[in-house]
Amino acid sequence: MKKILILMLMSFITAASLSAEANYRNFDELKALLESDADDYLFLDVRTGPEYGAGHIPGAENISYNLLPGALPEGTEKDKTIIVYCRSGNRSGTAKRLLEKAGYTNVHDFGGISRWKGDLE
């Protein structure tokens, strides 16, 4: 009986780890996505235009958090992967909550731009 419980637990853990999706809070995960050929995501810098212009993570589009969700590209699917970041993580957290409240189900908060270890544009 004990062996059966252990095997069931191991199967559950394995299945859970295989189905775990990336959360893009980690530099390496985000960098790999940005360097891939994937185009089924939105990567948003939710700071102001001047902040974005002063330097942003390559590949990011700028939509200020206070314009969300209305300023998303027309036809954005509710299950599309959306990754947000800002200066410190405060506005990106707000952006994530706004998008989720609007029904978007696959929103990830990278946090602050200081977490990015690569070059800025």
44: annotated active-site residue: no
What number of other Cβ atoms are within 10 A of residue 67's Cβ? 13
Write out the DSSP string of 55-82: ---TTPEE--GGGTTTTSPTT--TTSEE
- CA-wise closest residue to 64 among 51, 81, 75, 54: 51
Catalytic residue among 30, 82, 86, 99: 86
What's the sign of the alpha-carbon dihedral 30, 36, 41, 43? positive
Catalytic residues: 86
